[in-house]
Chains A and B, each alone.
Chain A
Amino acid sequence: MAKGKLTFGDIDVSVNVPAGTRVIEVSEKVGAGIIYGCREGDCGTCLMSVDEGIENLSEPSALEDKVLKENMAGKDMRLACQAQVIGEGETIVKPA
Chain B
Amino acid sequence: MNKNAKAVEIAKDIHWVGAFDPDLRVFDLILKTANGTTYNAYVVRGSEGVAVIDTVKEEFSDAFFERLEQVVAYEDITAVILNHLEPDHVGAAPELMRRAPQARIYVSNRGLKLLNATLKDELEMYAYTLTNDGDQVSLGDRTLTFVHTPYLHWPETKCTWVEDEKILFSCDVFGSHFCDERLYNDLVGDFRFSFEYYFKHIMRPFKRFVLEAMDKIEPLEPALIAPSHGPILRDHPMEYVRSYRSLSASRLPNEMEGKEKSLLIFYMSAYGATADMARSVYEGASDVDGVRVSLYDLQGGETDPFVDLIEEADCLVFGSPTINGDAVKPVWDVLASLISIETKGKFGAAFGSYGWSGEAVPMIEDRLRGLKMRVPEKGVRIKFHPTEQELEDCTAFGRSIAETLCGKAKPKVVDFADL
Contact across chains for A95 and B376 when beta carbons are under 8 A apart: no
Within 8 A of A (CB), among B101-127: 109-110, 112-113
Nearest B residue to A45, CB-CB: B372
Contact across chains for A16 and B344 when beta carbons are under 8 A apart: no
A26-41 interface mask toward B, CB cutoff 8 Å, 1 = contact, 0 = none? 1011111101000000
Contact across chains for A12 and B416 when beta carbons are under 8 A apart: no
Among listed B297-305, B312-320, B405-413, interface-contacting one = B405-413
Contact across chains for B344 and A17 when beta carbons are under 8 A apart: no
Contact across chains for B416 and A18 when beta carbons are under 8 A apart: yes
Using a Cβ–Cβ cut-off of 8 Å, how many residues does chain A contribute to the interface with B? Answer: 23
A11 part of interface (Cβ distance < 8 Å):
yes
Contact across chains for B416 and A21 when beta carbons are under 8 A apart: yes
Contact across chains for B416 and A16 when beta carbons are under 8 A apart: yes
- Chain A residues whose C-beta falls within 8 Å of the C-beta of B407 in the assembled complex: 12
Contact across chains for A15 and B369 when beta carbons are under 8 A apart: no
Contact across chains for B369 and A30 when beta carbons are under 8 A apart: no
- Chain B residues whose C-beta falls within 8 Å of the C-beta of A32 in the assembled complex: 374, 376
Nearest A residue to B372, CB-CB: A35
Within 8 A of A (CB), among B376-419: 376-377, 404, 407, 409-416, 419
Contact across chains for B404 and A16 when beta carbons are under 8 A apart: no
- Chain B residues whose C-beta falls within 8 Å of the C-beta of A16 in the assembled complex: 413-416
Contact across chains for B374 and A14 when beta carbons are under 8 A apart: no
A63 part of interface (Cβ distance < 8 Å):
no
Contact across chains for B416 and A15 when beta carbons are under 8 A apart: yes
- Chain A residues whose C-beta falls within 8 Å of the C-beta of B344 in the assembled complex: 33, 35
Q: Closest approach, in angstroms, between the C-beta of B374 and any C-beta of chain A?
A: 4
Nearest A residue to B371, CB-CB: A35
Contact across chains for B416 and A10 when beta carbons are under 8 A apart: no
Partner of A15, one of B109, B112, B345, B415: B415
Given A12-B404, A12-B409, check contact A33 B374 (CB 8 Å): yes
A2 part of interface (Cβ distance < 8 Å):
no
Using a Cβ–Cβ cut-off of 8 Å, how many residues does chain B contribute to the interface with A? Answer: 25
Q: Closest approach, in angstroms, between the C-beta of A18 and any C-beta of chain B?
A: 6
- Chain B residues whose C-beta falls within 8 Å of the C-beta of A10 in the assembled complex: 345, 374
Contact across chains for A12 and B411 when beta carbons are under 8 A apart: yes
Contact across chains for A31 and B411 when beta carbons are under 8 A apart: no
Nearest A residue to B416, CB-CB: A17
Contact across chains for B416 and A95 when beta carbons are under 8 A apart: no
Nearest A residue to B410, CB-CB: A12
Given A11-B374, A11-B404, A70-B112, check contact A33 B412 (CB 8 Å): no
Contact across chains for B412 and A13 when beta carbons are under 8 A apart: yes
Q: Closest approach, in angstroms, between the C-beta of A23 and any C-beta of chain B?
A: 12
CA distance A35 to B369 in the complex (A): 8
- Chain B residues whose C-beta falls within 8 Å of the C-beta of A35 in the assembled complex: 344, 372
B145-161 interface mask toward A, CB cutoff 8 Å, 1 = contact, 0 = none? 00000000000000000
CA distance A51 to B372 in the complex (A): 21
- Chain A residues whose C-beta falls within 8 Å of the C-beta of B365 in the assembled complex: 31
CA distance A18 to B374 in the complex (A): 23
Contact across chains for A95 and B345 when beta carbons are under 8 A apart: yes
B285 part of interface (Cβ distance < 8 Å):
no
Given A14-B411, A95-B345, check contact A26 B419 (CB 8 Å): yes
A62 part of interface (Cβ distance < 8 Å):
no
B112, B404, B410, B416: most-surrounded residue (chain A CB, <10 A): B416
- Chain A residues whose C-beta falls within 8 Å of the C-beta of B409 in the assembled complex: 12
Contact across chains for A31 and B369 when beta carbons are under 8 A apart: yes
Q: Closest approach, in angstroms, between the C-beta of B277 and any C-beta of chain A?
A: 20
Residues of A within 8 A of B (CB): 5, 10-18, 21, 26, 28-33, 35, 70-72, 95
Residues of B within 8 A of A (CB): 109-110, 112-113, 344-345, 365, 369, 372-377, 404, 407, 409-416, 419
User: Which 4 pairs show the lowest CB-CB distances between chains A and B?
Assistant: A31-B375, A11-B376, A29-B419, A31-B376
